[in-house]
Amino acid sequence: DAGVIQSPRHEVTEMGQEVTLRCKPISGHNSLFWYRQTMMRGLELLIYFNNNVPIDDSGMPEDRFSAKMPNASFSTLKIQPSEPRDSAVYFCASSVTGPSYEQYFGPGTRLTVT
């Protein structure tokens, strides 16, 4: 079975550019999570969706970040404009709602903003 798929795996961009990260959850999973991981702050939950609806976006750092889930098999995380402090690894994870809530992570996108 295919796991969570993320693209691109690596992204290098210049400050001020728009960045779009993509995620395809595991088929049948109805919850999707976006995380950011840095050495300084560890793994932070940015936003999560349940049945394609954003439930909690309190972790989104600022208005430059936005996320969408237009259907059950696709989600995007967009940063516009990007800044060097956005450099991090961004993970997408998916799960099935109840009873275990176990999340499975994608391989991540390593973003570097110069």
Partner 1 sequence: QKEVEQNSGPLSVPEGAIASLNCTYSDRGSQSFFWYRQYSGKSPELIMSIYSNGDKEDGRFTAQLNKASQYVSLLIRDSQPSDSATYLCAVSIYGQNFVFGPGTRLSVLP
**Which residues between 23 and 82 bind partner 1 (CB under 8 A)?**
31, 33, 35, 42-45, 48, 55-56
Using the minimum distance from each CB to partner 1, give the nearer residue, 81 or 96: 96
Binding of partner 1 at residue 106 (CB under 8 A)?
yes
Strands (E), the chain: 5-7, 10-13, 19-24, 31-38, 42-50, 53-56, 65-71, 74-79, 88-95, 104-105, 109-113
* Beta carbon nearer to partner 1, 8 or 17: 8
Determine the interface stretch with partner 1 among 18-26, 60-68, 75-83, 101-109 (rule: CB under 8 A).
101-109
Residues paired with 90 in a beta bridge: 36, 109
> In this structure, are residues 106 and 9 in contact, taking their beta carbons and an 8 Å threshold?
no
- Return residues touching partner 1 (CB under 8 A): 31, 33, 35, 42-45, 48, 55-56, 91, 95, 97-98, 100-108
